[in-house]
Amino acid sequence: MKPIARIVTRMQGEGDGLMLGSTFPGQDFFKPNTVYEVERFCGVVTIKEVGKACGFEKGDDPADRHSFLKRLFNWAEEVQVLLVARGSRLFMTREEFDEAHETVRYDQ
């Protein structure tokens, strides 16, 4: 079995569940700018794709209304800045964010 990624956990205290990961060259499982969910059932761990992350990617316009509403974040920011500024929104898909903030959407 050939590994395709590694994850490191910080977990320094109660409620601290930060994990950082990196893929190995040549892997084709993890897609760019995508949220994944890790589940465990009967001791078996699975990773499944949930949807597009809220980070900027090629083609996103920084002047877009969603940027103004802080749906999109810049991957160039430091991890701590992202966690403080975005909180749990950092782990939401674009659809989840839009659904949770329907009252402030201007694009419909």
DSSP reduced 3-state for 34: strand
Task: Give the chain's domain count.
Answer: 1
Give this prediction's pTM. 0.71
Triad 75, 78, 5: Cα angle to 5°? 65
* Domain assignment of residue 42, yes or no: yes
pLDDT at 10: 81
* Domain assignment of residue 35, yes or no: yes
- Which domain range does residue 77 map to? 5-103
Contact present, 54 and 95 (Cβ < 8 Å): no
pLDDT at 38: 94
* Domain assignment of residue 92, yes or no: yes
* Domain assignment of residue 76, yes or no: yes
Residue 69 is which amino acid?
L
The pLDDT tens digits along the chain (108 residues) read 888 998 888 877 787 777 888 899 999 999 988 999 999 999 999 999 999 988 887 777 767 766 655 667 777 777 777 777 777 677 888 888 888 876 554 454
* Domain assignment of residue 51, yes or no: yes
* Domain assignment of residue 41, yes or no: yes
* Domain assignment of residue 108, yes or no: no
